[in-house]
Amino acid sequence: MRQGVDILALGPVVPVIVIDDLEQALPLARALLAADVKVLEVTLRTPVALDAIRLLAQELPDAVVGAGTVANAEQLQQVIDAGAQFAISPGITADLLRAGQQAPLPLIPGVGSVSELMQALEAGYSALKFFPAEAAGGIPMLKAMAGPFPQVKFCPTGGIGAHNYHDYLALTNVSCVGGSWIVPTAAVNANDWGAVTEVARQAVANAKR
Ligand code: 3PG
């Protein structure tokens, strides 16, 4: 089983995906794969989210399909049953951290403060989402946490876009960044998969510079 840190190391940008229409799941995911974005975070924010995870996990062996917005142990079990390869939570609860320890996939818990980071570390998690990144202190906060907790690797998410993701990726404790900007709503609504690929391709290409 991959560890959370392995998932975060698979690529510089993790698209935060909201799927409203199940028919769009495959073309959308293929558009991202065409841009070499393999790690897909499908958020549990729509009624079809679990079906979308199940479909993508079955149909796209080259993708690493995970679930986002996993907020409790019950949802963690649901995404495991759907075939997710990782789970990301926006925050932590003792119950969720416990469930993640027993899970057959890596849970990447979300933290927004030093105390939450310490609770996650205590429970054995050192690959974390930093959420909501910009609102919770952004780059200065991540730099401050690198001193006492150099062993923690983050995927900051929330308020990150083309304008600032480089600055995040430059930090020693940031493995990748997450965001919805990689999957523009207008392009998805228009079924413009070429545009989705182009935005993702640019995000990946510019991350390397
Ligand atoms: C998330 O769930 O990770 C965030 O809603 C994504 O934040 P963004 O829309 O600001 O990228």
123 Cα to the center of ligand 1, angstroms = 25
pLDDT at 114 over 80: yes
189 Cα to the center of ligand 1, angstroms = 18
- How far apart CA 104 and CA 183 sit, in angstroms, is 28
Q: What is the mean pLDDT of residues 189-208?
A: 96
Contact 197, 34 (CB under 8 A): yes
**Domain range 4-204, its CATH number among 1.10.1660.10, 2.160.10.10, 3.20.20.70, 3.40.50.720:** 3.20.20.70
Instruction: Specify the pLDDT at position 45.
Output: 96
Amino acid at 24: Q
Q: Tell me which residue has its CA closest to atom 7 in ligand 1.
A: 158
Q: What is the mean pLDDT of residues 156-183?
A: 97
Q: Is the CB of 158 under 6 A from ligand 1?
A: yes
Mean pLDDT, the chain, whole residue set: 97
Would you place residue 194 in the very low, low, confident or very high pLDDT band (cuts 50, 70, 90)?
A: very high
Q: What is the mean pLDDT of residues 99-122?
A: 98
Neighbour-count burial of 113, counting CB atoms closer than 10 A to its CB (0-12 exposed, 13-18 middle, 19+ buried): middle
Q: Which atom of ligand 1 is nearest to the CA of 180?
A: 11
Catalytic residue, chosen from 23, 38, 129, 153, is 129
To the query of whether residue 41 is one of the catalytic residues in this protein, the response is: yes
pLDDT at 99 over 70: yes
- How far apart CA 141 and CA 87 sit, in angstroms, is 24
- How far apart CA 27 and CA 12 sit, in angstroms, is 22
> How many Cβ atoms are within 10 Å of 84's Cβ, its own excluded?
28
Q: Is the CB of 157 under 6 A from ligand 1?
A: yes
pLDDT at 69 over 90: yes
To the query of whether residue 129 is one of the catalytic residues in this protein, the response is: yes
178 Cα to the center of ligand 1, angstroms = 7
pLDDT at 39 over 90: yes
What is the helix (H) or strand (E) element at residue 141, kind and residue range?
Answer: helix 138-146
- How far apart CA 153 and CA 171 sit, in angstroms, is 10
Would you place residue 209 in the very low, low, confident or very high pLDDT band (cuts 50, 70, 90)?
A: low
What is the residue extent of each domain of the chain?
4-204
Q: Is the CB of 178 under 6 A from ligand 1?
A: yes
Instruction: Specify the pLDDT at position 208.
Output: 77
Nearest to 181 by CA among 173, 78, 166: 166
Relative to beta strand 177-179, strand 110-111 is unpaired
Q: ipTM value of the model?
A: 0.89
Would you place residue 153 in the very low, low, confident or very high pLDDT band (cuts 50, 70, 90)?
A: very high
Instruction: Specify the pLDDT at position 1.
Output: 84
Q: What is the mean pLDDT of residues 95-107?
A: 98
146 Cα to the center of ligand 1, angstroms = 23
Q: Which atom of ligand 1 is nearest to the CA of 157?
A: 3
Q: Is the CB of 110 under 6 A from ligand 1?
A: no
Instruction: Specify the pLDDT at position 144.
Output: 98
Nearest to 110 by CA among 170, 59, 156: 156
